[in-house]
Structure 1
Amino acid sequence: MSYTGPGFDPPQPRRPRRGPLTVALAALVPGALLGWAVYAAVGGSGGDEGPGSTAASASASPSAPASASASSRTSSPAPSASSEGEKPSAPAAASGPLEGKVVVIDPGHNPENFKHTAEINRQVDIGTNRKACDTTGTSTNDGYAEADFTLDVAHRMRTLLEKQGAAVKLTQDGDRPFGPCVDERARIGNEAKADAVVSIHADGSGTGNRGFHVILPGAVDAGAADTRAIVGPSDDLGTRIAGNFVRVTGSAPSNYVGDGTGLVTRKDLGGLNLSTVPKVFIECGNMRDSKDAALLTSGAWRQKAAQGISDGIVSFLRG
């Protein structure tokens, strides 16, 4: 997901009460600091210095050619998926520590969005203003589409969470021609009465900008949007996901937003503004940086990403 586009508000600075991510991890994830130390010692994925800019350095996201999109989907087969309207059918979802919990995974964008520019450019109400229904997302310089990445990680997460007993629903599974729009994505989580919702993305920022960040909802009370009740639990969910993401993947927090915490608060995203249940976004890395792209295009790394995000969700739901 690129930071470019109409209606973008720059990432809000973190509240002073929050220290660096590594401090938060010490309380939440005992193994995280050890994982970070190992990462730093071996020169892991986030060691490069970047320009530290945000929207000004983000590049526009080209529409990936249909051939490139199809190729990337077939090169990394994922577990078979249920259709959007069906309940998870895996037997493992019937029992486990997350039995009775509902998790909605929101794979960002749609592999076919670039074929439906008129539809995805339609403006929808996000409470604070109006914004495009959806976007094409970004891609690596070699043409691996963000929408393919998000679906792959979502499938891996679904398998992991169903094994824990959760009922898992995807907002889209490559089973619709475009979208859904950002307001519908929020509505799917709300109507499912989800205990947690996570929207999966990868960024399209400038070369040298590296690392992941988790986007938390800011306090919004405008029009159809009222996030005040979910700000606290979403903050908890996002912090746990960030900690476990570091621990499992060894990836560094973003070097260009979040002041090294890996956490950013925003009020301009309809998927967060319109949510009535705990929800966060995660930008798993920057597709336009060659070193981050090497991770994002690796099936083994995507499995780690799915595990880290899922572990954060499990930690949140189990308290």
Structure 2
Amino acid sequence: MVAVRRATAPLLLAGALLLTGCSDDAPAAPAPAAPAPAPVVTRTTTTPTPSPSPSSVTSVAPPSTPSTPSEAGKVVVLDPGHNGGNGAHPAEINRQVPAGRGQTKPCNTTGTATNAGYPEHAFTFDVAQRVGKALADKGIKVVYTRQDDNGVGPCVDRRAAIGNDADADAVVSIHADGSEAAGANGFHVAYSAPPLNAAQGEPSTRLAQTLRDTMRTGGFSTANYIGTNGLSARADLAGLNLSTRPAALVECGNMRNATEAARMTSADGRQQFATAIAAAIEAYLAS
């Protein structure tokens, strides 16, 4: 979400309600080369076989031992941006909270929406649930920063704390942008820069690049209006500034772009976003 986005009428109950963005025009710092994709591991199931008669005995190999994917048992925190109840609680979400680097920011915002009114908070929650299911099916523990789409918050500092407290192997925030710039389209991935701790250095940069590369492979185009080659170095995002775990924020596309809005509004389109993000997280955890 960019700072210039405008909220839809249903979400703003008071003129004081603040919308904030997850993007600026700062160019991204160069990222390291993308890691090699993780090998595919196949589980083997052995079915008991009846004992053969003495006349038909042949040499039988011992059953193989099932293997475990390298990412199984890892912890991933998924942070779907905003919340459905934020618009009805302007005082609560506008209160200032720590944002890192000596900054404060509003607790949270309403987010943006498509021109037809489909809200960012609904999009991010749906995609996060799809990503989480795909990861959980692989034995990965998934923690969400919010459990539904009708609550308020949590505040941006609390969202970062959830990832830290979970000792997450990766924290991925899921958002969508709301740029009014003519022709603005494409996704980008933000990461904290300059880093404030070791996790914000190489691990977060590698996570951001893996997300970028995998989304490209999944058929998504990088943003033509922000960042560099789909990456955006940021010093103003509380969730990234306050993280002590590898963290990145994916702006899946521009909700004000008609083509991208149609994809985000479609269940099939949201599944495409989720498939790419889940694959990127798996590749990162296995690297």
Supply the AA of the counterpart residue of 1:98. E
Separation in structure 2 between the aligned mates of residue 134 and residue 167 of structure 1, nearest angstrom: 26
* Larger displacement relative to structure 2 (175-184 or 165-174): 175-184
2:230 corresponds to: 262
SS at match of 1:161: helix
- SS of equivalent residue, structure 1 residue 197: strand
Matched-pair contact (CA < 8 Å) for 2:76–2:142:
yes
- For residue 163 of structure 1, report the CA deviation from its aligned partner: 1.0
CA distance, structure 1, for counterparts of residue 199 and residue 128 of structure 2: 26
Paired residue secondary structure (1:214): strand
Q: 2:206 aligns with which of 217, 236, 260?
A: 236
Q: Which amino acid aligns with 2:257?
A: D
Partner of 1:218: 193
Within 5 Å, which residues of 2 pair with 1:242-257? 242-248=212-218, 250-257=219-226
Q: Which residue of 1 aligns with 2:159?
A: 185
Q: Which runs of 5+ in 1 are unaligned?
A: 31-94, 221-225
- Give the whole-Å Cα distance in 1 for the aligned partners of 2:178 and 2:22: 14
Correspondence for 2:15: none
Amino acid at match of 1:218: A
Q: TM-score, normalised by structure 2?
A: 0.79
**Larger Cα Rg: Structure 1 or Structure 2?**
2
Q: Percent sequence identity over matched residues?
A: 45
Instruction: Give the SS at the match of 1:139.
Output: coil
Task: Determine if contact 1:149/1:296 at 8 Å carries over to the other structure.
Answer: yes
Query: Would you say 1:205 and 2:179 are equivalent positions?
Result: yes
Aligned to 1:155: 129
- Cα distance, 1:166–1:7 mapped onto 2, change above 3 Å: closer
Larger % of helix: which?
1
- Is 1:306 equivalent to 2:274 in the alignment? yes
Q: 1:133 aligns with which of 82, 100, 107?
A: 107
Alpha-carbon separation, structure 2, partners of 1:258 and 1:180? 27
The 8 Å contact of residues 130 and 274 in structure 2, kept in 1 or not, is answered as yes
Match of 2:117 among 120, 137, 143: 143
Judge conservation of contact 1:106–1:170 (CA < 8 Å) in 2. Answer: yes
The alpha-carbon deviation at position 29 of structure 1 amounts to 6.0
Q: Secondary structure at the match of 1:151?
A: helix
Q: Which residue in the other structure is 2:257 paired with?
A: 289
Taking the aligned partners of 2:142 and 2:245, their CA distance within structure 1 comes to 15
Counterparts of 2:214 and 2:254, CA distance in 1:
19
- 1:7 to 1:200, Cα distance in 2 relative to 1, 3 A: closer
Query: 1:109 and 2:82 equivalent?
Result: yes
1:150-190 Cα distance to aligned partner (Å, 9 max, x none)? 00000100110011110001000226630000000000000
Q: Runs (4+) of structure 1 moved beyond 3 Å?
A: 4-11, 27-30, 226-229
Give the CA deviation at 1:230: 2.1
TM-score (norm 1): 0.71
Alpha-carbon distance, 1:6 to partner? 7.1
Quote how far apart the aligned CAs of 1:210 are: 0.2
For 1:150 and 1:218, locate their aligned partners in 2 and report how far apart those are by CA, in whole Å.
Answer: 24
- Looking at structure 2, the residues matched to 9 and 96 of structure 1 have their Cα atoms a distance apart, in angstroms, of 35
Q: CA RMSD in A?
A: 2.2
How far, CA to CA, are the matches of 1:116 and 1:266 in structure 2? 28
Alpha-carbon distance between aligned partners in 1 of 2:36 and 2:268, rounded to the nearest angstrom = 25
Structure 2 counterpart of 1:193, one-letter code: D
- The Cα of 1:246 is off from its aligned counterpart by 1.4
Change (3 A) 1:10 1:283: closer
**Does the aligned pair in 2 maintain the 1:213–1:262 contact within 8 Å?**
yes
Structure 1 residue 8: Cα displacement = 8.4
1:12 aligned onto 2:30: no
The number of aligned residues is 242
For residue 173 of structure 1, what is the aligned residue in structure 2? 147
